[in-house]
Structure 1
Amino acid sequence: MALLKLFLGALLLLQFVLLDGAEPQNLNCPAYGGVPGTPGHNGLPGRDGRDGKDGAIGPKGEKGEPGVNVQGTPGKAGPSGPAGAKGERGPPGAGAQGPPGKVGPPGAVGPKGDKGNPGLPAGTAVQSALVTQLQSDVKHLRDRLTAVEKVLGFRMFRKVGQKYYVTNGLKGNFEKALKFCSDAGAKIVLPRSEDENKVITSLQAALESTYVYAGATDRQKEGHFVDMSGQPLTFTKWKENEPNDHNGGEDCTAIYKSGVWNDINCNSEWHVVCEL
């Protein structure tokens, strides 16, 4: 600031020097002695002076308020440290073991038993029984299916209990009847009850047949009729005064359309019915 005042003072002094040496000029404006003139225009501002030297360091300011304590974000986890040493073994439990009991005297040795057959594990025995039962069931179903397939191969059939009576309307003597049924995987019909006997008569009505051969003869012993396996008959329905072995030549059995039985000549030709 002092330097600026000095500079302005030197500039004003130079102006007076220049004015004193110049010639007087005519003024257009009238002026009266002793009256100050109008102030002139301000001159142009001078150039900035040079920076002064740094002043003395001021006194230390008062201590500011403490800043806000804000925790920064956690840094990345560092690498795992080395494994620590194995700790010592802990003390034993509080339970106490009782004293050992006395050893009893040895028992007598029994006689050696017979060597048994090696048994199967429980699970294996059950599985074996189930497999056996399943095989039996499958065989039964196959047999039934085979029988049904055979039945469907005949023109007529009737079901009675677990049997099927089948026929194609064939006629022939007793030997031909036996062969026909055997070739079909069946046997010649032989009723074992009144219900089965009635089923035969229903087939006879459909065939319009007078007689149907039955599987019973007395060829081995006259008057003693047996089935095709040689077993005594468990059911019969002989017509009155039959069997009579007329003229000594009636060794076979036929069922009349009314359901009664009669002994006839084995060479007679009658309808053939088989049973499955």
Structure 2
Amino acid sequence: MYSMRMFLLFCVLCLMSSTGYSQLPGPPGPKGDPVNDGQHGAAGQLGPAGSPGRPRIPGLSGPAGPPGSAIFCGRGVSGQELETLKNSLAKLELVVNYDFVRRVGQKYFVSYKKRESFSRAVEFCSQRGLELALPQNEEENNILSQFFGDVYKTAWINVNTNKAEGNFEADMKNRPLTFTKWGEGQPDKSIQYTGCTMLSENAFWRVTQECFLNAYIICQM
């Protein structure tokens, strides 16, 4: 029996030897070299831009909201204050457009340097929401005299033309004058009915019956 086993073992070894390989695992081989990934290529060029999309169609407008209150200097403005502001802006616009502008205190004197009759002068100022100029003190009176040019040296002032209504001592709204600067012999006592008052180059006032004369129109606001 033992002999038989040895014989079979011998046959197996011979067969393995004749085929040139062994069925038993061999020892592990050496570690291989690391793999090189290679260099990265350069970035490609940008492609052409695509065509623009279709324009957007605007939506419908929403309903109007309720009116808000006016804001001025960080606070609400009352109706009266808003009206005062509007009047101030309107006056400022007029001031910018005139050829002659002088400010004395809170009053402005303005003019286009036009010369017309007294009635046209009153109408001219009234159509613009203004009044014909009327000095209220010496400073205002002297300011108006700065208006005169080299040739024409008179301007109409807002004094009542009817002697019976205060002897030329009231304005066109029949308010008593608080300041006057009549020249010598003025107002002219020989004038019985109508007379118009001029400011002359020496800053004195005088009344004339010739209200049709052309004198400068100066308005005030």
Contact 1:158 1:203 in 2 (8 A): no
Q: Distance in 1 between matches of 2:196 and 2:151?
A: 21
Q: Within the alignment, does 1:217 sit opposite 2:160 as a pair?
A: yes
For structure 1, the residue ranges without an aligned partner over 5 or more in a row are 1-6, 8-44, 49-129
Q: Distance in 2 between matches of 1:160 and 1:249?
A: 33
Contact 1:169 1:207 in 2 (8 A): no
1:272 matched to which residue of 2?
217
**Equivalent position to 1:135, from 79, 86, 95:** 79
Q: Distance in 1 between matches of 2:214 and 2:190?
A: 17
| 1:250 positional shift | 5.7
Contact 1:218 1:225 in 2 (8 A): no
* Identical-pair percentage: 25
Q: Distance in 1 between matches of 2:130 and 2:157?
A: 13
User: How do 1:1-276 and structure 2 match up within 5 A?
Assistant: 45-46=2-3, 131=76, 133-204=77-148, 206=149, 208-219=151-162, 220-221=164-165, 223-246=167-190, 248=192, 251-265=195-209, 266-276=211-221
Amino acid in structure 2 at the alignment position of 1:226 = A
Amino acid in structure 1 at the alignment position of 2:215 = W
Q: Could you state the TM-score of these two structures normalised by the residue count of structure 1?
A: 0.49
Of the two structures, which has the highest relative contact order with CA contacts closer than 8 Å and spacing of 6 or more? 2
Q: Distance in 2 between matches of 1:164 and 1:207?
A: 23
| 1:247 positional shift | 5.0
Q: Distance in 1 between matches of 2:191 and 2:178?
A: 27
Q: Distance in 2 between matches of 1:207 and 1:46?
A: 160
1:139-179 per-position Cα deviation (integer Å, ceiling 9, x unaligned) = 22211110111222322221222222111222122111111
Q: Could you state the TM-score of these two structures normalised by the residue count of structure 2?
A: 0.60
1:127-146 per-position Cα deviation (integer Å, ceiling 9, x unaligned) = xxx75x44333322211110
Q: Distance in 2 between matches of 1:233 and 1:47?
A: 161
For structure 2, the residue ranges without an aligned partner over 5 or more in a row are 6-74
**SS of match in other structure, 2:155:** strand
Q: Distance in 1 between matches of 2:117 and 2:189?
A: 17
Q: Distance in 1 between matches of 2:135 and 2:161?
A: 17
* Distance change (3 Å), C-alpha of 1:229 and 1:222: closer
Contact 1:218 1:251 in 2 (8 A): yes
Q: Distance in 2 between matches of 1:168 and 1:160?
A: 18
Q: Distance in 2 between matches of 1:268 and 1:245?
A: 20
Q: Distance in 2 between matches of 1:189 and 1:233?
A: 13
**SS of match in other structure, 2:183:** coil
Contact 1:201 1:257 in 2 (8 A): yes
Structure possessing the higher radius of gyration over alpha carbons: 1
| 1:269 positional shift | 2.3
